[in-house]
Amino acid sequence: MKKYVVLFIIGIAVLLLMGCSNPKEDKARIDKYLDRVYGENEYTLEQNPKYKRYYIVSLKKYPGLKFDVTVSHQPFMDSYVWDNFDEVFTKHVIKTFKSSTDMGKDNIEFLDPDLAYSAKVKSIDELKASYERFLAFIDMVREKYTVLIDVESMPLRFDIRGIRFKGDVSDESKYVDVGKAEHGKVTMKSFDELYAELSPQIQTHAVNPNGVLIRASSGRTFMLGGDTFEDCLYKVLDVNNPNGEDLSSIVLQPGEISETYTLEKKDDYRSAKIDIQVKNMTDSPCSLYDATLYKMVISNSETVFIKDKLIELYYNENKEWVDPYKALNISKPNSEQERTEGVTFKNIKVLFLESQSSKSIKTVIVTFNQ
């Protein structure tokens, strides 16, 4: 009953708020907004015949394009002038550019508030042709649709697919901020600047087909047996290096396992804590950065993703509890060795440690079983 009373009160509040809006005041507010943004006598305005609270705007410099404007009245929020100018104009410019340009496998789209150019390439050198097309698009905006630059604050984004960057476990997309259009100006990186930024981030080691994907409830996906230590530094987590060592100078001998390093978001107490160790799985000495991710100890995580299974770690008596070993279709540890090292699953050994106060899993230990 209380639920329906609350819904009724909210409904009445919404109606009251809408009823309090004054159409004449809204119209005056819209006029003032359009004069300030586009200039007096630089546009025509007509009321939408179907939706009386909306108005249709046409800029005199661009008579073929029309966009909507209104005053938005939302419950429990201050009212504000809303329009879809950026969406209408950006999509029109993109359509115009595509009609006269061979885009290949590239694409441009407006992803509010970003203008995103996406390119699928096989190497960083192939990016040049795509980036030059993006620059050509921006030049067209400068020449024919300056209002977009004058009015909007639009981040410019370059999305790259097909290149494996450090930290990637598959052909992921990399989003690169390359500039911004605002206040009548466009600031944008040159291709040489973009190349210099991306080159050191390209993944150079081979992909281990036997690696196993692992993901905690925060951070990116790891590949146990595939990622290098350097890859782990690109997982949106901070490495704890209390002694301030020069980690890049550390060398591991063949078969040697590193010390334990902690990855976590230092400013987020809810972030999972991940202790990692890497191992030199080659026949020659290698740097710590090139050693392979060998062991992970995951704490403070509500879930864990192992290979293709998402496992709940937090016990909730109101939800059906699935034992994590059962979720992986493996038995619980039976021997002392399994209780110490973990149970074999695919190419890893996994161990779930329960909390002392509930069935929740406080720690997950996964080790690559080379």
pLDDT one-digit tens code per residue, 87-102: 999 999 999 999 999 9
Rounded to whole angstroms, the Cα distance separating 82 from 29 reads 11
Tens of pLDDT, residues 59-76? 999 999 999 999 999 887
**pLDDT tier, 6 (very low <50, low <70, confident <90, very high otherwise):** very low
Residues 94 and 76 placed together within one structural domain of the fold: no
User: Are 226 and 192 in the same domain?
Assistant: no
Q: Does 324 have pLDDT greater than 80?
A: yes
Question: Is 335's pLDDT higher than 90?
Answer: yes
* Mean pLDDT along residues 104-124: 94
Structural domain count of the chain: 3
Q: List, as one string, the DSSP characters of 283-317.
A: SS-EEGGGSEEEEEEEES-SEEEETTEEEE-S--T
Half-sphere exposure of 181 (CA within 13 A, CB side): 23
**Quick one: pLDDT band at residue 19, thresholds 50, 70, 90?**
very low
For residue 346 the two structure tokens come to 């695919």
Q: 174 with 282, same domain?
A: no
Among residues 201, 236, 269, which one ends one of the domains? 201
What does each C-alpha distance from 320 to 216, 302, 312, 356 come to in angstroms?
A: 21, 15, 10, 20
Give the model's pLDDT for residue 87: 94
Are 235 and 363 contained in the same domain? yes
In this structure, is residue 5 part of a structural domain?
Answer: no
Mean pLDDT, range 151-164, rounded to an integer: 93
Span 18-40, average pLDDT: 88
Residues 229 and 319 in one domain: yes
Cα–Cα dist 254/7, whole Å? 67
Measured CA distances, 36 to 28, 31, 148, 180 (Å)? 12, 9, 15, 22
Minimum mean pLDDT range among 72-76, 194-198, 295-299: 72-76
Instruction: Convert the pLDDT of each residue in 343-362 to its tens digit.
Output: 999 999 999 999 988 899 99
Cα–Cα–Cα angle for 42, 45, 49, rounded to 5 degrees: 165
pLDDT of residue 20: 56
Same-domain check for residues 224 and 362: yes
Residues 61 and 95 grouped into a single domain? no
Mean pLDDT, residues 72-87 taken together: 91
Domain that holds residue 170: 87-201
Residue 234: its pLDDT value, please? 92
pLDDT greater than 50 at residue 342:
yes
Task: With respect to residue 197, please indicate whether it lies within any of the assigned structural domains.
Answer: yes
Number of neighbouring beta carbons within 10 Å of residue 261: 19
Of 164, 182, 201, which residue constitutes the final position of a domain?
201
Q: Work out the average pLDDT over 111-127.
A: 94
- Shared-domain flag, residues 352 and 219: yes
3-state SS, residue 279: strand
**Same domain as 111, residue 219:** no
